[in-house]
Amino acid sequence: MRKKQKILVLMIVLALAAGSGYRVYRRVTEKKKKPVSSDPAVIVVKAAPVELGAIRWGIRLTGDVNASTSVQVFPKCPGRLIEPAQKHLDKVRKLYEDGAVSEEPVAKIEEVDEGDLVTKGQIIAVVDHENPDAQVNQAKAALTTAQAQLGQADVALTQIEKDLERTRNLEKEGAASKQALEKMEAEHKSLVEQKNVADARIKQSEAALVQAQIQLAECFITAPISGIVAERYLETGDMAMVTRPLFAIADIDRVEITADLPERYLTEVHPGADVSMEVDAFAGRLFKGAIAKISPTLNVVNRTAELEIAVPNPDHALKPGMFARVTLVFLEKKEVPVIPEAVVLRDESGRYVFIVEKGAAHRRTVALGLEEGPMVEVVEGLRPGEMLVTAGQQKLSEGQSVQVQK
């Protein structure tokens, strides 16, 4: 029994000794793993020199791109659309020479489609004009007949005037009776009336011809403005109606952007002020324009005034319907100290930053000016070239020893 007790006591002693040895081993191992700092008071920070730069104050707005002018082209006469041809251009030229068309047609005629450029006065569609053509020919024939009748009346009247003069002389001499003179005078009066009727018929025929030519000219649809065909609603062979448009034409040599300006900025803008804008389709490209109009009234719902911004678009890169991001700059400063706004700290005494000088951090109270994105202007408190702490400044205090991370 005593032997067993001795063995148990020995086992307990050995276990305690092993546990103590393991704890000592862990302490030694952990001490080896821990780095030994030569100077625990030095804080590692990032720093960069204060630089001069440009900063602007303004506002960014959004708006829609619109054509400067957009029109829908309606036919003036109903009928089936036919393919434009050179003979149609020749016919319109003849109508212009006859005075039925006020503007000389553009020397170009072809079928146009969406995306095609057209010139003001260019024939872009033709309606079947068989009936108006026939009416013009009929009016011309009627005019020719009336002119012939007038010519006959002129000849007959000239002759009767001679006969009447001779008869009057004979009647005075007693060689002709009074009845013969009266008969001659009646014939003269009748021929004068016939001439007047012929004159009236000519005027009527001329008016009918002009009307027929106008109706014929209306079968040739011309572009009312120069621009690009934005939409084509009917194809060759379709029936055109005066209540249905054939084309939509947009002038996009210059585009207009409409945007809503908050009321508080109204005093900062004026017509003619420069504007820059971007669209998603041309990332990174800036388009320049100017304010064309400022609405004289405000939207009572959101208290904004509508701006109309004109932007030159010679390459037609901007398309109506695009979404635009517009930047209006009210004030720009150049060659001023500019720093990241994120490095500025605040407390009850105001705003401040830390600079590094001779291995120590020094607190500088700063006065800030314009803000643009992540950057801010420093009006007072910093000089160009000073090493500004850009990371780790939250841990610093005045005179703190620092090491700038490279």
Would you state the pLDDT for residue 61? 93
Q: Which CATH class is domain 45-55+334-404?
A: mainly beta
| Whether pLDDT at 188 is above 80 | no
When mean pLDDT is compared across 137-146, 266-275, 293-302, 391-400, the lowest value belongs to 137-146
DSSP code at position 369: E
When mean pLDDT is compared across 48-57, 193-202, 390-399, the lowest value belongs to 193-202
Beta strands in 280-322 (DSSP E): 287-294, 304-312
Pick from 36, 65, 211: which is nearest to 140 by CA? Answer: 211
| Amino acid identity, position 30 | E
Would you state the pLDDT for residue 99? 74
Pick from 272, 292, 258, 268: which is nearest to 67 by CA? Answer: 258
The mean pLDDT value for 309-334 works out to 91
The mean pLDDT value for 352-358 works out to 92
CA distances from 353 to 274, 330, 350, 356, 376 (A): 36, 28, 10, 10, 13
- Please report which residue ranges of 62-129 form alpha helices under DSSP H: 86-97
| Amino acid identity, position 365 | T
- Would you state the structure tokens that stand for residue 363, as one six-digit string? 């607190």
Pick from 119, 77, 107: which is nearest to 223 by CA? Answer: 119
270 or 96, which is more confident?
270
Q: What is the mean pLDDT of the chain?
A: 83
Confidence of residue 387 (pLDDT cuts 50, 70, 90): very high
pTM recorded for the entire structure:
0.62
CB 188 within 8 A of CB 181: no
Domain boundaries along the sequence of the chain: 1-36, 45-55+334-404, 77-240, 251-332
CA 243/CA 262 separation, integer angstroms: 41
The mean pLDDT value for 74-82 works out to 92
| Whether pLDDT at 12 is above 60 | no
Beta strands in 242-322 (DSSP E): 247-262, 274-279, 287-294, 304-312
Angle between helices 130-173 and 178-217 (to 10 degrees): 160
Would you state the pLDDT for residue 35? 42
Would you state the pLDDT for residue 14? 56
CA distances from 98 to 39, 216, 387 (A): 104, 12, 85
27 or 105, which is more confident?
105
In this structure, how many other beta carbons lie within 10 angstroms of the beta carbon of residue 167?
Answer: 21
Instruction: For residue range 79-95, list pLDDT tens digits in order.
Output: 999 888 888 888 888 88
| Whether pLDDT at 222 is above 80 | yes
The mean pLDDT value for 99-127 works out to 83
| Whether pLDDT at 199 is above 90 | no
Confidence of residue 303 (pLDDT cuts 50, 70, 90): very high
Would you state the pLDDT for residue 171? 64
| Whether pLDDT at 400 is above 80 | yes
Would you state the pLDDT for residue 34? 41
CATH of domain 251-332: 2.40.30.170
The mean pLDDT value for 374-399 works out to 90
| Whether pLDDT at 1 is above 70 | no
The mean pLDDT value for 154-181 works out to 71
Would you state the pLDDT for residue 19? 55
When mean pLDDT is compared across 28-37, 107-116, 151-160, the lowest value belongs to 28-37
The mean pLDDT value for 180-200 works out to 75
- Would you state the structure tokens that stand for residue 229, as one six-digit string? 């065909």
Confidence of residue 15 (pLDDT cuts 50, 70, 90): low
CB 177 within 8 A of CB 61: no
